[in-house]
Amino acid sequence: MFNRTTRRAATTLAAVSLLAGCGLFSDDDAKAEQRITVGTTSEPSTLDPAVSWDNSWEMFRNVFQTLMSFPTGSSSPRPDAARECRFTDTANRVFRCELRDGLKFSDGHPLDAAAVKHSFDRIRGINAPGGPAGLLESLHTVETSGDDTVVFRLRKPDATFPFILATPAMSLVPPAEYPPDRPRQDGGITGSGPYVLASYTSGDRAELTRNKDYRGFAKHRNDAVTIQYFKDSDTVFRALQKKDIDAIYRGLTSEQVVELERKGARNKDLQLIEAVGADIRYLVFNPADPVAGKLAVRRAVAQIVDRDALVAKVYPGTAEPLYSMVPRGIFAHTTGFFDRYGEPDVNEARAILNGAGIRKPVPLTLWYTTDRYGSGTAAEFTELKRQLEASGLFRISLRSKPWKQFQAGYQKGEFPVFGRGWFPDFPDPDNFIAPFVGTNNALGTPYESPEITRELLPQSRRVSDRAAVNEQFERAQEIFVDDVRLLPLWQGRLYVASTDDIGGGERALDPQTVMQMWELHRKAGW
């Protein structure tokens, strides 16, 4: 995915800044008194995990449990609500989990094997468009044995299944509160995670309080968290600088990240922590559109887009060009789009179009969301429009909508070309290939690729040693380059910025780039 250059990667993803408390106190006293206020431009699209495959996971990770999870500092899944999970066969088709003793949901109902089965059955039963059912494509049946044992039988070998169980999409819910055949409608959340959702006001805030009955891997470093939702990056950044909020994640522009790095007068009390990230941005082409559905049009766009210029103008110093859907830092990464198209070349793009009998400027509409990936998105698409029109080969219209309307639109196939971001479900190349192919994928736009879905992915999932499947994933990336159904643009990095009195920022982001709110805390003796 990444450019062949060695510039330092970065992203607009996140910065966290926390307001210092006053006085002197011990660690125990601080923990008992702490409430952290976190600002973000990334509001959940839903509160029901059975219908979400997006940044709603930020909420889910903190209020629900999963059978497995990624403990802080680990890129391998470990038991969470389960005390033990393992494949019981050599073919990676039977996966057994035994639950911790005495687990219960925040409403008092037991978190037992029946609740686990209900949680998985309803994801597949609801089968929400663009929802997480696509992650369970290999699952055949869920069986229970007594109150504490669950057995997953798979249709085919799938060595990534433990990773899937660790995603917030597989959050466990009580049958009494979550209907088996439809999403929950009352605006509430009932989980067994580190926090309880005390209240939620769409467009405003969510109040999380510490779940005193929680039993899992997370160790609370604070007592409560307020998540405040903002419409744009400028507003949330001003709130941070004014100390109206204690923290920010997701939504800062690259200029704001750079400003934090420079330690200006308004930011002199902030520290910036950089974390490894695998978030990517890309364009999606709708094959049903009469224009975007033409292979020559897609290849011409790929031949013109100048990622270096895009990053330099919109995300200076905080992103790197992306030449594959599998980013750098994930094994099997390649630079397929650079290898195929090289540097931007208008003459080559013209030849591609002429070879398909297209000799007039191509009209194309590009869509983006206004409130999901930060305010830099608008500038990013303005730059893409400039590049494509400067070639003389395209006439570009830009359109945008807020996330919920944008999501509904692309799931209905209304957009010819649209921009998306991907924050990994788990750190494996499978998660940068499989979610985008097949009929029921994360894009809401079917992408049939039999070689990938019937050969390459099944082959790779038979192998528990994930480093031994480079060949399959490298071939899948070649197919992506041939089809240009997806056009990777850039990869970012993650940041946590905080005032000097705050600890935990370096541990707050897990391998799925989800904020673990429980890690944030005030240092003693401030």
pLDDT band for position 28 (50/70/90)? very low
Distances 337 to 296, 340, 343, 443 between C-alpha atoms, Å: 15, 5, 10, 20
Residue pair 300/349 in contact by the 8 Å Cβ criterion: yes
pLDDT number for residue 130: 77
The pLDDT of residue 439 is above 80: yes
pLDDT number for residue 5: 31
The pLDDT of residue 25 is above 50: no
The pLDDT of residue 47 is above 80: yes
The pLDDT of residue 193 is above 80: yes
Residue pair 52/131 in contact by the 8 Å Cβ criterion: yes
Q: Which amino acid is at 46?
A: T
Structure tokens that stand for 496 in this block: 């946590």
pLDDT band for position 33 (50/70/90)? low
Half-sphere exposure of 253 (CA within 13 A, CB side): 20
The pLDDT of residue 31 is above 80: no
pLDDT digits (tens, 9 = 90+) for 289-316: 999 999 999 999 999 999 999 999 998 8
pLDDT number for residue 2: 28
- The C-alpha atoms of residue 385 and residue 396 are separated, in whole angstroms, by 6
Best CA proximity match to 77, nearest among 431, 440, 525: 431
Q: Is 22 exposed, middle or buried (0-12, 13-18, 19+ CB in 10 A)?
A: exposed
- The C-alpha atoms of residue 351 and residue 300 are separated, in whole angstroms, by 9
Instruction: Give the residue ranges of DSSP H helices in 182-317.
Output: 233-241, 254-262, 295-304, 307-314
- The C-alpha atoms of residue 343 and residue 520 are separated, in whole angstroms, by 43
pLDDT number for residue 512: 66
Q: What is the DSSP letter of 383?
A: H
pLDDT digits (tens, 9 = 90+) for 448-501: 999 999 999 999 999 988 888 999 999 999 999 999 999 999 998 777 777 777
pLDDT number for residue 41: 86
435 vs 270, higher pLDDT: 435
Distances 376 to 281, 372, 386 between C-alpha atoms, Å: 12, 10, 15
pLDDT number for residue 15: 34
Alpha-carbon dihedral angle through residues 354, 358, 360, 365, given to the nearest 10 degrees:
-120
pLDDT digits (tens, 9 = 90+) for 312-354: 999 887 889 999 999 988 889 999 999 999 999 999 999 999 9
pLDDT number for residue 14: 35
What value does the mean pLDDT take over residues 106-111?
Answer: 96
Q: What percent of the chain has pLDDT over 70?
A: 92
As a whole number, the mean pLDDT across the chain is 88
Of 65-69, 71-75, 230-234, 259-263, which range is least confident?
71-75
pLDDT number for residue 3: 32
What value does the mean pLDDT take over residues 16-39?
Answer: 51
pLDDT digits (tens, 9 = 90+) for 194-223: 999 999 999 999 999 999 999 998 999 999
The pLDDT of residue 11 is above 70: no
Number of neighbours of residue 413 by Cβ within 10 angstroms: 14
pLDDT digits (tens, 9 = 90+) for 157-166: 999 999 999 9
Best CA proximity match to 500, nearest among 234, 267, 223, 276: 267
Distances 62 to 72, 188, 216, 359, 519 between C-alpha atoms, Å: 13, 14, 12, 54, 11
Residue pair 21/30 in contact by the 8 Å Cβ criterion: yes
Best CA proximity match to 197, nearest among 186, 206, 205: 206
pLDDT digits (tens, 9 = 90+) for 268-288: 887 777 776 678 999 999 999
Strands 280-285 and 417-422: antiparallel
The pLDDT of residue 259 is above 60: yes
The pLDDT of residue 17 is above 60: no
Orientation of helix 376-390 relative to helix 307-314, angle to 10°: 140
pLDDT band for position 410 (50/70/90)? very high
Helix (H, G, I), strand (E, B) or coil at 488: strand
489 vs 234, higher pLDDT: 489
pLDDT number for residue 375: 74
pLDDT number for residue 195: 98
What value does the mean pLDDT take over residues 403-428?
Answer: 92
Q: What percent of the chain has pLDDT over 90?
A: 65
pLDDT digits (tens, 9 = 90+) for 63-103: 999 999 987 767 788 999 999 999 999 999 999 999 999 99
